[in-house]
Every structure is written in C-alpha cells, then in structure tokens.
Amino acid sequence: MKNTARSIAFETLGRVYKDGAYTNIALQHALTDRGLSPRDKGLCTEIVYGTVRRQITIDALLQLYVKRKLKDLDQDVLTILRMSVYQLAFLERVPAYAAIDEAVELTKRHARAASGFVNGVLRSYVRESASTEEKIEAFLAKKRASEVLSLGVRHGFPNWMVQRLISAYGRERAEMILSACNEPAPLTVRTNLLKTSRESLKAALADAVQLEVRDGELSSQALVIPGAVNVEALEAYRAGQFTIQDEGAMLIAPLLTPLPGSTVLDMCAAPGGKTTHIAELMRDEGTIDAYDVYLQKVKMIQEQATRLGLKSVTARLGDGRDFANKEAAYDAVLVDAPCSGLGVMRRRPDIRHRRKQSDIAQLTSLQRDLLQAALRAVRPGGIVVYATCTLLPEENEQVVEWVQKNTSDAFVVEDIHELVPEVFRQDVCQGLTITPERALTDGFYMTRLRKR
C-alpha cells in the first residue's frame, strides 16, 4: 500500500494514541519526505487534527453503531473508525465511498480480521439518513445528558474542562470559547524590527508564498499568512527576519517595557519566542538570562537567538525556582509559567485528552513557587510579568492573589490598560485574560507586578 493522505494520517494518529506523541510534532515528522502533494498534505493534516479535536464527539457517534465498548476494540481498529467517522461527519467534500474503501484497506493491512466489522460499522453510519447534529442529539437523548455532557459531546471536550470554563465564564461564553478552540489557528509571524520593517517583510513573504499577507491587528510587528505554508523553508526565516508566534503571545513581552541596557531574567524561556521578543524590544542591548530545565530546550532557545542575530540572550540550564534563594536583582523578570494550556488547544488539540483535572493543583503549586522566586530575583522597583497560556482563574488571578497574601504585599499589581490593544482594555482587571473567541488568537493571561 503506497503512502496516501489517509495512511499517513493513520500512522500519525497511531503515534498519538499508542505512543503518547504530541499531535503537531508527530504530524510534522510523518509528513517529512513522504512525497505527498500539497492537497494530500492538507487532507492528512485535516484528518489528524480533526480526529483528535473531535474525538469525544466521534466516540459518541460511534457508540450508536458499535455494540461493544469502544475501549475493548483493538487500538488500530478504533483509530481507523475514528478517522473515518471524522471524514464522514465533518468533511463535506470527502466522498463517503473514498473514506470507507480506504478504511477497509487500512484494516486489512493492520487488523485483517476486523475488516468486515469496520466495513459494516461505516456503511451503517452512512446508511442512516440523519444529519450529524441529529445523530449527536440521539446520543445525548439516549444518555439523558446534562448540560455539561451535552456541551462536551457537541464540541469535543471532557466534562471537567467544560465545567471549569462554565464556572469561570458562564455557560454562554464557555460555549463560545469551546467553539473557538475547534477553529484552525492562523499562521502569524512577528517581524524582527532589528533586521527589517513589517512592510518590507510583508512584501517579501507575499512574493515568496504567492499569497496575500496582511498586517496583524493587535501588534505592530505581526503579519498573518493565509493558508498552510512551510515558512521555515523561506529565505526570510533563515535570515532571521521573523519568528513564528501567535499574535496574542506578542502582547506579553512588551508588558516588561524592557529598555536597552536592562538585565532581564526569563525563568521558563523555551522555546524562546518571548525571550527573543524581549531582546528585540531592547534593541539587543543588555543581558537576558533565559532558563529552562531541559537541555534540548536550552539549545532550542540559543538556536533561535542565533538565527535572529541576537547577542544579548544567554540560554541557561536551570530551574527558575532556584532563584528563591538568590538576590539576583534583575531589572525585570518574566514568569511564563508551565500551565494546563487550555488557551492553546487550537494548535495542540491533544491537550483536552492529555490534561487531567488533578493536574491543576500541582501546576498551581509550581506557579506559586515560580512567582515567589521571581519576586526574589527582581530588584526593588523592578517589574515581574506573570503569564500563562491557560484560561483557568486558579492558575492565573488566584496565583497572584495567593502570592500577594503570602509575601506581605511585597508587590503591587499595576494597571496595564495603556499597555494592551484598545480592544482588550475593557477586560483589564488584575491583569488581562484573552480568550480565543475574543480576537481569534490563542488564549493567555498576563499581569504586571512592581516590587515594592
């Protein structure tokens, strides 16, 4: 069987489901040097991301046609059924016969005895004339589903995540957030103003990718490239003229208001997007110590700094919590804390399956320790920016409040109205939480503290 979009999608999903691989990384490896056309690469990507993103919904649909419990099925068989139902339920341009025929061929190759079963389930699925929405409703009615389960099945999220978002944002906004997390994320890049201007880069990128590149709306450095493009292969990328970064993430480094000549600590720096942004804002004049606990990620930070031509960044191996015992007296510290990642599920759909509710308490403890260490590391009068890519108050405002209460009010939370785009100013309160439905960015929390 030759490599096809569906066979490579099956291979990739196998790595995600059986080996615990990250979806984006597994797909990137799977598509390298496989000879697929751009169209087939697009189909493979859609099937992989869509299947992971909609897995909970797909499983509900499958349970209408499979008498056994899904967890009792062979993993390869379940993967083939999931990716096939995704195509039948959510991809209007894919002919049913194409999805079913290739599903049967994949089953013959990987679980031959189950080929008749797979064929029967999928043909039963398409024989049913009801729409996907009607089938979902039939499942929910059969389960007498609660509001939380209904939202989770419709949008493909675990119940605990739905419940937490409803508690934080209310039912209506929670559903808008869940829906936005299922939308494909645009490709955005940050212009390195030390090497080029946004206008010059826009023209160069438009010429290179033959697409209409547009300005971002939240950052004066942002450009948006429509369509799937391997920008890392472009000359402008190799020349260090831009960094791939979500536009929401571009709002965090400016909160430090770093000046040329400053000394800055980035406590959790990998992969280096915000570190290099700080360096660019400082005109590469000063010192930035960029720490991470993994050597491979430390190398990644240094490689990015080198590609961008930045000399002020020094990537270091170490745990940010160690600064709790030091008086480092940095002018500014960024704590881009490890978190549950609920704000970046557009780009990393497996987070909804990988992350557990029990993780939150452990993460919160780590976040408190890091923020306390940051306050130790910064000089009196210096700035600490605390940021995450999650939407849960427990990891955001409540971490800041806890640390403030337990450090004898060692800092004040500063008003950042004037430091964020106008569209978000009405949302500022003890910091800013950007949710994905607000401006079609990833979700982030950010706040700025000044040490007394």
Taking the C-alpha atoms of residue 36 and residue 338, their distance in angstroms, rounded to an integer, is 36
Taking the C-alpha atoms of residue 448 and residue 414, their distance in angstroms, rounded to an integer, is 6
Q: What tokens were used for 151?
A: 């939202």
Going by their DSSP bridges, the two strands 242-244 and 187-191 should be labelled as antiparallel
Which residues fall within 8 angstroms of residue 219, CB to CB, at 6 or more apart? 190, 247, 250, 251, 421
Please tell me whether 331 is known to bind a ligand: no
Is there a contact between 91 and 46 (Cβ–Cβ < 8 Å)? Answer: yes
- Residue 434 to residues 183, 184, 331, 447: CA-CA distances in angstroms? 16, 17, 26, 11
Taking the C-alpha atoms of residue 416 and residue 432, their distance in angstroms, rounded to an integer, is 8
Q: How many Cβ atoms are within 10 Å of 19's Cβ, its own excluded?
A: 8
Is there a contact between 387 and 446 (Cβ–Cβ < 8 Å)? Answer: yes
- Give the residue numbers annotated as catalytic, written as ranges: 389
Please tell me whether 374 is known to bind a ligand: no
Residue type, 307: R
DSSP letter at 396? T
Please tell me whether 270 is known to bind a ligand: yes
Q: How many Cβ atoms are within 10 Å of 5's Cβ, its own excluded?
A: 22
Which residues are bridge partners to 12 per DSSP?
none
Please tell me whether 268 is known to bind a ligand: yes
Please tell me whether 271 is known to bind a ligand: yes
Question: Quick one: angle between helices 5-19 and 75-90, nearest 10?
Answer: 130
| Rounded-to-5 percentages of helix, strand, coil across the chain | 55, 15, 30
CB < 8 Å & 24+ apart, contacts of 412-415: 412/449, 412/450, 412/452, 413/447, 413/448, 413/449, 414/383, 414/448, 414/449, 414/450
Taking the C-alpha atoms of residue 371 and residue 369, their distance in angstroms, rounded to an integer, is 6
**Angle (CA) 151 155 157, round 5°:** 80
Residue from 164, 228, 50 nearest 392 by CA = 164
DSSP letter at 358? T
> Please, where are the H alpha helices in 22-146?
23-31, 38-53, 55-62, 75-90, 96-110, 115-127, 132-143
Please tell me whether 328 is known to bind a ligand: no
Binding positions for S-adenosyl-L-methionine = 268-274, 292, 319, 336
Binding positions = 268-274, 292, 319, 336
